[in-house]
Amino acid sequence: MLDKIQTKISQLEAGKKLILGVGIKAEDMQKVVELCESLESEGNIKIVNKHLNPKTNNQPDTLLIQKV
């Protein structure tokens, strides 16, 4: 699944945004967040918004990222 997400991110055009979260299991979401934070630290993307779900101890359930 992370491979699919990384492929979608790499195919984004600069300035385009992508919402991640729908269809991603809660236990996999932490891996997605770590991947996005890693890509952000490399300067590939920017995390625009991280929605925290109060029902799951404020764990992120949706990310809005933008290709840099």
Q: Read off the pTM.
A: 0.89
7: containing domain: 2-67
Identify any residues that bridge with 51 across adjacent strands, giving them in sequence order: 62
Q: Which residue has the tokens 């991640």?
A: 20
The number of folded domains in the chain is: 1
Averaged pLDDT for residues 11-21: 96
Nearest Cα to 10, choosing from 47, 39, 32, 38? 39
Per-residue pLDDT tens over the stretch 28-55 = 999 999 999 999 999 999 999 999 989 8
